[in-house]
C-alpha cells in the first residue's frame, strides 16, 4: 500500500495523517504500507494494525547536536495532539478481530523537532497492552517531547494488566527526547541489538521487567539521569558489549527487589558517567547497586573516568562500582576507575566481591 495512492504528498507541508492512516487501514494481515522518500507531516497518531508493517525509505542514526533534520520520514506538526506519533494498540484497545501481534516498523525516522517544547509529552512510538513480537528495525526517533520508544500497560484487559513482550529491536537510535529514551514495562523474552540512546532528558533506558531478554551492543550516552535504570530483574537479563558514556547519574543503576533474578554483564564498558550537571561527585558510579536483591554478576567490566569531550566539566564518576544494602554483587574480572575510589562498599551488603582478575586505578 503506497501512501501516495491514498493522497499523501510527503512534501514537508501537507498534513498527511488521513492519507497514511487510510493506507494502513487498507492493509490486510501481512501487507506493508510504504512511505516513499519525503517528509510526511502528521497531526494525530498513526495506528498500525495486527501483522502490518509501516515501511519508510531511510532511517537516520547517531547525529551531533544541531545536525540537519532527517530528509525522509515522519515529522509531526506543531499542532499534533495524541500520546505518540506512532501508536500500536492491543486487540481490546484497537478494536481488532484478532490478537494485535507482529506489528513492524522498518527504515523510518520520526522527527519531533517541531513539537512545542512547553507542550504535552508526546512519545515517538508507544505500544500498549498485550502485543507480542513487535519488531523495530532501522528506526530513528529524535526530539520528541516525551519518551522515544515506550511500552505501556492496558490495565483494563481481562486477566489483569498486560504490556508488550517478545520485542525485537535492531539498529534503533533515540536522540534528544524530553523524557526517557526507551521504556520497557514487562517486555520479557525480548532481543535488543545495536540500540543507541543519546542526550535524552530522562534515563537512557528505564527497565521494569525485561526478564529472560538479551541486550547486545546497546548504548546510553549523555542522558540527564541514569544510562540504564534497572528497576526489576525477573528471570535472567543478559547484557553483552553494552556501554554508557557521560550520563548524568549512574551509568547503570540496579535497584531490583526480585530475589531470583540474575543480571549478567559481559564485556560492558561504563565511561565518564556521574557527570552530575558538570560537577561530578554526588556518590554516582559507573555501576551502582542499591537495595537490590537480585544477583549482579560481571565479567570483563570496564569503568573509566573522564571529562567532557572538550575537557570541560569535572572528572567522573566518583566510584567505579558502588553497592549499598544489596544481596549479591560479584565482579569477576575487568578494570575499574573512580575519582574517589574504584570500589565502594556501602552499608549492609550481603555479598560484594571483587575478583582477583579485577584491576583498579
What is residue 225's predicted lDDT score, i.e. its pLDDT? 98
Percent of the chain residues past pLDDT 90, beyond the cut: 94
Residue 201 has a CB neighbour count (10 Å cut-off) of 17
Q: Is the pLDDT of residue 25 over 90?
A: yes
Rounded-to-10 torsion of CA 59, 65, 66, 72: 10
Q: Which three cell numbers stand for residue 230?
A: 534497572
Q: What is the mean pLDDT of residues 3-14?
A: 98
> Considering the chain, what is the average pLDDT of its residues?
96
In Å, what is the CA distance from 236 to each residue of 133, 214, 255, 323? 19, 9, 15, 20
Return d(Cα 204, Cα 346) in angstroms, integer: 25
What is residue 118's predicted lDDT score, i.e. its pLDDT? 87
What are the pLDDT digits (tens) for 279-332? 999 999 999 999 999 999 999 999 999 999 999 999 999 999 999 999 999 999
DSSP secondary-structure letter at 198? Answer: E
Long-range Cβ contacts of 78-83 (<8 Å, 24+ apart):
78/114, 78/115, 78/116, 79/43, 80/42, 80/43, 80/44, 80/115, 80/122, 81/43, 81/44, 81/120, 82/44, 82/45, 82/122, 83/45, 83/122, 83/123, 83/126, 83/146
Rounded-to-10 torsion of CA 129, 135, 138, 141: 0
Whether 102 contacts 164, CB under 8 Å: no
At 350, is the pLDDT very low, low, confident or very high (cuts 50, 70, 90)?
very high
What is residue 346's predicted lDDT score, i.e. its pLDDT? 87
What is residue 360's predicted lDDT score, i.e. its pLDDT? 95
What is residue 361's predicted lDDT score, i.e. its pLDDT? 87
Q: Is the pLDDT of residue 170 over 80?
A: yes
Q: What is the mean pLDDT of residues 214-221?
A: 98
Q: Which three cell numbers stand for residue 200?
A: 535524552
What are the pLDDT digits (tens) for 137-152? 999 999 999 999 999 9
Q: Is the pLDDT of residue 159 over 90?
A: no
Q: Is the pLDDT of residue 123 over 80?
A: yes
What is residue 275's predicted lDDT score, i.e. its pLDDT? 98
What is residue 126's predicted lDDT score, i.e. its pLDDT? 98
In this prediction the pTM is: 0.97
What are the pLDDT digits (tens) for 229-260? 999 999 999 999 999 999 999 999 999 999 99
Count of residues making up the chain: 361
DSSP state string for 30-53: T-EEE--SSEEEESS-EE--TT-E
Q: What is the mean pLDDT of residues 158-170?
A: 93
Q: How far is CA 4 from the centre of its chain?
A: 32
164-178 burial code (b ≥16 CB/10 A, e <16) = bbbbebbbbbbbbbb
What is residue 64's predicted lDDT score, i.e. its pLDDT? 77
Amino acid at each position: 500500500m503506497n501512501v501516495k495512492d491514498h493522497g499523501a504528498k510527503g512534501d514537508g507541508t501537507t498534513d498527511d495523517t488521513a492519507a497514511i492512516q487510510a493506507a494502513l487501514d487498507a492493509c490486510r494481515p501481512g501487507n506493508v504500507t510504504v512511505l516513499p522518500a519525503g517528509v510526511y507531516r502528521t497531526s494525530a497518531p498513526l495506528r498500525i494494525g495486527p501483522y502490518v508493517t509501516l515501511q519508510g525509505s531511510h532511517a537516520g542514526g547517531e547525529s551531533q547536536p544541531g545536525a540537519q533534520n532527517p530528509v525522509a520520514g515522519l515529522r509531526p506538526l506543531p499542532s499534533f495532539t495524541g500520546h505518540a506519533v506512532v501508536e500500536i494498540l492491543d486487540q481490546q484497545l484497537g478494536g481488532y478481530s484478532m490478537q494485535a501481534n507482529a506489528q513492524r516498523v522498518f527504515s523510518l525516522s520520526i522527527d519531533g523537532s517541531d513539537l512545542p517544547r512547553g507542550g504535552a509529552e508526546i512519545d515517538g512510538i508507544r505500544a500498549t497492552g498485550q502485543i507480542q513480537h513487535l519488531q523495530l528495525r532501522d528506526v530513528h526517533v529524535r526530539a520528541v517531547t516525551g519518551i522515544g520508544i515506550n511500552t505501556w500497560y492496558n490495565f483494563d484487559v481481562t486477566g489483569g494488566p498486560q504490556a508488550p513482550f517478545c520485542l525485537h529491536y535492531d539498529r534503533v537510535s533515540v536522540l534528544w527526547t524530553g523524557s526517557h529514551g526507551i521504556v520497557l514495562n514487562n517486555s520479557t523474552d525480548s532481543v535488543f541489538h545495536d540500540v543507541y540512546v543519546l542526550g535524552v532528558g530522562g534515563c537512557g533506558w528505564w527497565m521494569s521487567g525485561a526478564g529472560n531478554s538479551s541486550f547486545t551492543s546497546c548504548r546510553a550516552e549523555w542522558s540527564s539521569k541514569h544510562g540504564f535504570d534497572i528497576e526489576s530483574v525477573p528471570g535472567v537479563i543478559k547484557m553483552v558489549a553494552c556501554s554508557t558514556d557521560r550520563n548524568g547519574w549512574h551509568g547503570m543503576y540496579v535497584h531490583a527487589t526480585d530475589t531470583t533474578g540474575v543480571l549478567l554483564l559481559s564485556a560492558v564498558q561504563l565511561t565518564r558517567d556521574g557527570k552530575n550537571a558538570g560537577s561530578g561527585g554526588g556518590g554516582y558510579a559507573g555501576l551502582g547497586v542499591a537495595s537490590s536483591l537480585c544477583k549482579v554478576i560481571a565479567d570483563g567490566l570496564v569503568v573509566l573516568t573522564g571529562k567532557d569531550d572538550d575537557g570541560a566539566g569535572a572528572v567522573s564518576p566518583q566510584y567505579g562500582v558502588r553497592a549499598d544494602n544489596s544481596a549479591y554483587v560479584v565482579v569477576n574480572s575487568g578494570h575499574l576507575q573512580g575519582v574517589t575510589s574504584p570500589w565502594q562498599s556501602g552499608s549492609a551488603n550481603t555479598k560484594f566481591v571483587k575478583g582477583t582478575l579485577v584491576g583498579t586505578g
